[in-house]
Amino acid sequence: MENAEMLKTVKAKAQMWLGEEFDIETRNSVKHMLEHDEKELIESFYKDLEFGTGGLRGIMGSGTNRMNIYTVGMATQGLCNYVKKEFSHVKQLKVAIAHDCRNNSRLFAETTAEIFAANGFKAYLFDSLRPTPELSFAIRHLGCQTGVVITASHNPKEYNGYKAYWDDGGQIIEPHDTNVIKEVEKIRSISEVKFTGGEKPEILGSEIDDIYTDKIKALSVNPEIIARQSDLKIVYTPIHGTGVKLVPDTLKKMGFKNVYNVPEQDITDGNFPTVKSPNPEESAALAMAIDKAIKVDADLVMATDPDADRVGIAVKDLTGCISLLNGNQTASLLIYYLISQWSAKGKLKGKEYICKTIVTTDLLNVIADDFKVQHFDVLTGFKYIADILKTYEGKLQFIGGGEESYGYLAGEFVRDKDAVMSCALIAEVTAWAKDQNKSLFDILIDIYLKYGYYKESLVNVVRKGKEGAEEIQKMMEGYRGNPPKSINGSKVVMVHDYLTSRSLDTTSGIESKIALPVSNVLQFLLEDGTKISVRPSGTEPKIKFYFSLNEKMNSRADFERVGNLLDSRIEGIKTDMKLI
């Protein structure tokens, strides 16, 4: 009976999409589902695609639960309405719009621009695909009140997405995110969306690229080293995405002469034909680039995701083989390089800081402490790093920051993770290493020798569907209501509960307040220095367990032994927590 009622409701919603306000292709698609594909009909209409705190993300197609010009249109109209209220004192409202390589991204971007224009905004639209961080830059550079990028990051090819930004160039956060959601939810009919009627959007081209990449070049700390090591061999792949032009162009502008591409993956294609997943966190996505690196004897391999805000890298390890680095290792190399070289150049004046997320390696903070640089920890999500930049703009100077999921940033002219910038700086760190007759891997071991070997691991426990969501909730309730006394033989000495904003010192029983927004995250700090973070994913049906361990290294010869020791402890933790 429940299914019969749902089908009745779904069919009623679908019938509304047969009206004249919908294009013929959409009407034919809905008609086909009504007559021949009940399963797809239900999937497409059983709910409305939710505008969440990060915007929209979903499978493309016809229906209320799909990414299409109508769901994009309703989201845009709601965003327009809210921005007009918040900036009622601004005579001419402005918006910048960009898009990635995905199927329909250009269509969704043009639709978004036209709706903003019809609502009285001065709309700026890039002439073709662009990296997400350039959109953040353009918002600030052009003095816009908001911005939108059409992207689904590294999701499968069937997906697309819509991310909204505020006037500071950062993704929308509280209170604006929840207020925008309320405005979007008020839009109940396509007839409420102003699709046409404004001035044509102004097209942005290479002039913005040049200003943006010039600013990235200005971040270089040691241009003289790049000049000496200009023959550094770099293999780069955009994995069919938006980094295809700007990353190689920026590397060349920095002074690097030997940038090798992977021709098959330079082809802009939303179907991502050469990879199973266009995610630089996955080794398979870098396979073709690594093959190329072996052939040309490259010093560095870099791969960016489709919207070029995250980068994965591979370098020669101690055996000379190409080895992947994880996000924490890359962040450590970048932060160590920037802070140490700012120090060497006399640029540290006591008002500098770095920023990272709470699940990113604490090695970054240890490095910062060594150089007496301030550091901030924020919730997971680069929008919170952007908020710190906004808070301390003009008061403190941001050196750099990052998150374990392969996103990094330096400077203050972009307010989101930036793979174009990161590629330029990672190449510079590699040149700096080579100038000392070292590899990037050698520098990483130098860092471990000085500060301790930090090793991180991540376990994703997937639980799909309604029952899965309930199981994840029960797991969190269990850890929260009855936190472990010890894990893998090491006493739990501190519990951070970001949902209740309370920290508990288990030895003294003293509680303290966490000065961060509320979030469903738990952290257990162990007596042996281990940190375990537990959080449900906000975008996927999974619960994530982050492990961070460290151990002192006495010599370079200790690297393998200590690494094996830490691996053994990680496996012990997984076993104790029943994750394997």
CA atoms within 13 A on the CB side of 547: 23
How many whole angstroms separate alpha carbon 286 and alpha carbon 273?
14
Q: Which helix (H) or strand (E) holds 141?
A: helix 132-142
- Is the distance from CB of 243 to CB of 309 less than 8 angstroms? no
In sequence order, the 6+-apart residues with CB closer than 8 A to the CB of 7 are 38, 42
Longest dimension (CA), the chain: 74
How many whole angstroms separate alpha carbon 429 and alpha carbon 427?
5
Q: Helices (H), strands (E): how many in the chain?
A: 19, 23
The strands making up 258-261's β-sheet, listed across from edge to edge, are 258-261, 233-237, 300-304, 311-316, 322-325
How many whole angstroms separate alpha carbon 134 and alpha carbon 111?
20
Give me the residue label for tokens 């197609």.
61
- Pair of tokens at residue 40: 């797809």
In 238-362, which residue ranges form alpha helices assigned H by DSSP?
243-254, 263-266, 287-296, 327-344
- Pair of tokens at residue 93: 């409202």
How many whole angstroms separate alpha carbon 83 and alpha carbon 166?
9
Q: Residue 203 — φ and ψ, nearest 5°? A: -85, 130
- Would you call 337 helix, strand, or coil by DSSP? helix
In 452-525, which residue ranges form alpha helices assigned H by DSSP?
465-481
Of 404, 400, 403, 373, nearest in space to 389 by CA: 400
What sign does the dihedral 557-558-563-564 (CA atoms) show? positive
C-alpha dist (Å) from residue 369 to 327, 364, 470, 523: 21, 9, 41, 22
Exactly one of 153, 332, 457, 490 is catalytic; name it: 153
What sign does the dihedral 281-285-308-110 (CA atoms) show? negative
- Would you call 562 helix, strand, or coil by DSSP? helix
- CB atoms under 10 Å from CB of 476, counted, come to 17
- Would you call 91 helix, strand, or coil by DSSP? coil
Q: Do strands 490-497 and 522-526 pair parallel, antiparallel, or not at all (unpaired)?
A: antiparallel
283 is catalytic: no
Q: For the chain, state the CA radius of gyration.
A: 24
Q: Residue 409 — φ and ψ, nearest 5°? A: -155, 145
Residues with catalytic function? 153
